[in-house]
Amino acid sequence: MQLSDITVVLPTLNEEINIAHFLASLPDRCRLIVVDAGDDRTAEIVARHRSPEFTQIVRLKSTISEARQIGMELAGTGWVLFTDADVVFPPTYFRALAGYAEFDCVYGPKLSHNRFRRYYRWFAHGQWISHKMGIPAASGSNLLVRRHIVTEVGGFDPDLLCNEDSELVWRIKRAGYRTAFAPDLPVYAMDHRRLERGVFRKTLHSVVRCLFLYCDLIPARWRRLDWGYWSHVQQGESGASAQD
């Protein structure tokens, strides 16, 4: 797997605080598609820091699921790497991807160099346990997929305002494709505001909602609700999921 085989798909919503750090960790010759739903300077910062030869910016009001789907459809490479603007890649990240070329879908943990390090390590351990049990616990911050597979399983569910990443990978797994949890492929969180509102609250929301989604216990009309996950998101907070 070469760098030229990968397109990074990045949904953004008012990420001007984080975006420069994200871009600094991304190789200059890595293809990047930004689907920007915000009204701040995020798109301008991307355009200033990146070569247009390797960068495409789409300005569109959309949900997180729609943004990821749009970016995937525009990508012209065999692999798509879905991520978020509030993380950075370690220097070894893109070289290490070659070790997972035999798989169809690869997801790694999100860790921290500063605050909440214990929480992120604990969450990554939970991902490992879930994967060993046969249930992928993927995050859209760090998700590499063969592009054609996303299309074959029906793409991202446009009704979901959160957990769209996990739900997609469950369908990929159920379709018989090879998935891998890659603990040696971490990304590092820069923005912890959601955790600052309460570690227990965030964890409970993720676990309960994912359990209901996985067991198909959520009525169709409730799939469009985020159960309060994004209702507190303020202007400029990380994450693009409230892009409507």
Q: CA end-to-end span of the chain, whole Å? A: 35
- Assess whether pLDDT exceeds 50 at residue 239: no
The confidence score (pLDDT) of residue 228 equals 58
**% of the chain exceeding 90 in pLDDT:** 71
Which DSSP letter does residue 229 get? Answer: S
Q: In the numeric block, which tokens belong to residue 8?
A: 């990074």
Tell me if 229 is assigned to some domain: no
Domain limits at 89?
3-193
Q: How many structural domains compose the chain?
A: 1
Q: Which residue has the tokens 């609700």?
A: 225
Q: Which residue has the higher pLDDT, 175 or 211?
A: 175
Q: What is the CATH number of the domain that holds 109?
A: 3.90.550.10
The confidence score (pLDDT) of residue 236 equals 38
* DSSP for 131-167, written as a single string: HHTT-----TTEEEEEHHHHHHTT-S-TT-SSSHHHH
Report the predicted TM-score, pTM, of the whole model to 2 decimal places: 0.88
Output the furthest CA–CA distance in the chain (Å, rounded).
46
Tell me if 223 is assigned to some domain: no
Q: Cα separation of 147 and 89, whole Å?
A: 21
The confidence score (pLDDT) of residue 198 equals 74
Tell me if 33 is assigned to some domain: yes
Q: Cα separation of 26 and 112, whole Å?
A: 17
> pLDDT digits over 84-110, tens only?
999 999 999 999 999 999 999 999 999
Tell me if 212 is assigned to some domain: no
Most confident of 142-151, 222-231, 234-243: 142-151
Q: Are 58 and 114 in contact (CB under 8 A)?
A: no
Tell me if 114 is assigned to some domain: yes
Tell me if 58 is assigned to some domain: yes
The confidence score (pLDDT) of residue 237 equals 40
